[in-house]
Amino acid sequence: MNHTPHTSMFAASPGQPGRLSPLQPQRVQCPTTLLRLLPKLVRMTPEQRMEEATRDGLTLSHLEQEGLHLILQASRSRQQQLFWWMRLLNIESHPAQVYIPESRTPSFRLYTPLLPEAGAELTPIVRQYLGRRLGCRFLHGLLLLGWLMPEILHQALIQRSHWVITDYFLPTPSALEARPAGLAQQRLRFQFEALLANQPHSNQDLVGNLRRWIRAESNPPTLENAAIHLGFSERSLNRYLAGLGSSFQEEMDQWRCEQALKSLQNSDLDASQISQQLGYDNPANFGRACKRWFGQPAGAIQRELQRSTDT
């Protein structure tokens, strides 16, 4: 199947100056590594800083390469690829962030916060550098995921923009080939989530924070309690999760999937007992969930897991 995206033109326009990402706190501490880089950036001309940020942005880290590999293997839709890559970059590129605004047109917005530690004179330089680096890194990943053609990435790179908050409108990619749900794919998804959770700035990932809270709750998790714990209203939490390609119900579903897999593999309980343990009123609903998660009934998954344990 041809994965070449449609040849829509890449476009960028200024965002709203001074507005922080909804996922960022009011004050963001400037990382030590960035402060050490400041003397070098100050000695450069604006063009040299742009070139340096571009080179850095087009050089993916080992973590980003590993993340892209997992995204290619585990994602079931183009939108899922976009959101997962964005979440990984928000951790790797801290304190700059990328966010998907509510829009019918595929687009994303870069945010670089005010950094008091850099000082009033140097803050614009830092923000320009961070914004350019993050934008290049994000687009490079989308190229590798099949969202962009090389000429569209080139068009983005020759824009000499110094905007620190920028809206980018993306071409619409072709659809992925249909991938049936399966045990292997779910394990790859768990592996990707574990990769995010083990990074130094994983607390910048709202979806990851919600997942950790759900796992730690002794009482049945609710949206109201999640919003209180994470410091949002219920409406805001839902809106910000949607901007990351998720929802409270989606994360609860993934938590049940994870718990179901553990129970099917590590306990002697039958499907009906596991269903009750996970809070399903009707075992048939649990059976349908297993078909959706793993592509097989609960009993077949349990036998498959037991065979793999025995061998």
Half-sphere exposure of 126 (CA within 13 A, CB side): 26
**How confident is the model at residue 26, as a pLDDT?**
57
Sequence ranges of the domains in the chain: 11-169, 183-310
Given a cut of 90, is residue 252 above it in pLDDT? yes
Is 107 exposed, middle or buried, given 0-12, 13-18 or 19+ CB atoms closer than 10 A? Answer: middle
Question: For the segment 139-184, what is each residue's pLDDT rounded down to a tens digit?
Answer: 899 999 988 888 877 777 776 554 455 667 777 777 777 777 788 8
Q: Which is more confidently placed, 105 or 304?
A: 304
Question: What mean pLDDT, rounded, does the chain reach?
Answer: 82
With CA atoms as reference, report the closest residue to 265 among 304, 297, 293: 304
Place of tokens 């306990």: 267
Q: Which two tokens stand for residue 12?
A: 């960028």
Q: Which is more confidently placed, 299 or 105?
A: 299
Q: Which is more confidently placed, 253 or 25?
A: 253
pTM: 0.86
Q: Are 45 and 187 spatial neighbours (Cβ–Cβ below 8 Å)?
A: no
Is 278 exposed, middle or buried, given 0-12, 13-18 or 19+ CB atoms closer than 10 A? Answer: middle
In angstroms, the CA 70 to CA 296 distance is 23
Q: Which is more confidently placed, 243 or 40?
A: 40
Question: What is the CATH T-level fold of the domain 183-310, as seen in this structure?
Answer: Arc Repressor Mutant, subunit A (1.10.10)
- Looking at residue 118, the DSSP 8-state letter turns out to be G
Residue 204 three-state SS: helix
Average pLDDT over residues 81-106: 83
Given a cut of 70, is residue 299 above it in pLDDT? yes
Q: Which two tokens stand for residue 95?
A: 């304190």
In angstroms, the CA 301 to CA 21 distance is 42
In angstroms, the CA 214 to CA 255 distance is 8
Average pLDDT over residues 283-288: 89
Render 3-43 in DSSP notation, one character per residue.
-PPP-PPPEEEE--TTPPPTTS-S--PPPHHHHHHHHHHHH
Q: Which residue type occupies 302?
A: Q
Residue 258 has phi, psi (to 5 degrees) of: -65, -45
